[in-house]
Amino acid sequence: MGILITPSILNSDFSDLRGELAKIAGADYAHVDVMDNHFVPNLTLGLPVVESIVRASPVPVDAHLMITDPDRWAPAYAEAGAGSVTFHAEAAAAPVRLAREIRSQGARAGLALRPATPIEPYVDLLAEVDMVLVMTVEPGFGGQPFLTSMLPKIRRTRDAVAAAGLDVWVQVDGGVSRSTIEQAANAGANVFVAGSAVYAAEDAAAEVSTLRDLADG
């Protein structure tokens, strides 16, 4: 399974999104964290800004929706042109219908799991999605330390995907850096969000390739 690097722009300079996006032209997706101050205790940006980001980004947008009502909002992000739209399992009332709506708009559908949410209740949904996002921090903020206690869940998710014979990506988000990306890759992740690791680096583009090399190793 191919390695994908999806830097999060959460800790970038929001007053210069075009410039910040240009720095990650060598990545596979731009990970955009949508927070509503209800599902998580933080507020970032919403649909109109994501529409602009889609137009300005040199790479497809990976929208991570940390919102309470994804059933209502997620399809609109797909319609706006996001290449991938991920909603939280805990928040979705009808995850199968929602994943199908996202896919019918031409986007990949992702299912996200907070640290306290296991993969097991969702194994039968794997055929309906393109990606499972295993959070390795509590969602809400960048710059938190990687939760190594999530490594077994990454492994169980990868094993469940393999057992079902599916081509579902396993993404990790939270605290991914030079010092943690190999553990996540070894546990079975193939898609890596890195926010502060990329945007705090002297050279964001170089950091993307360093992370890719480490994950590929």
**Residue with smaller CB distance to Zn ion, 43 or 127:** 43
Residue with CB nearest Zn ion? Answer: 64
Of 10-69, binders to ligand DX5 (CB under 6 A) are: 10-11, 31, 33, 64
* Interacting residue with Zn ion among 11, 36, 50, 64 (CB under 5 A): 64
* Interacting residue with ligand DX5 among 105, 144, 183, 210 (CB under 6 A): 144
Within 8 A by CB and 6+ apart from 1, the residues are: 167, 169, 190
Query: 33, 36, 62, 130: which is the annotated catalytic residue?
Result: 33
> Which residue, among 176, 143, 175, has the nearest Cα to 12 in the 3D structure?
143
As a whole number of angstroms, the distance between CA 174 and CA 195 comes to 8
- Identity of the amino acid at 114: R
- Identity of the amino acid at 64: H
Both tokens assigned to 216: 């590929």
193 φ, ψ (degrees, to nearest 5): -85, 135
Q: How far is the CB of 201 from Zn ion (least distance, A)?
A: 18
By CB under 6 A, name the binding residues for ligand DX5.
Answer: 8, 10-11, 31, 33, 64, 137, 139-144, 173-176, 193-197
Residues belonging to the binding site are 8, 31, 33, 64, 140-143, 173-175, 195-196
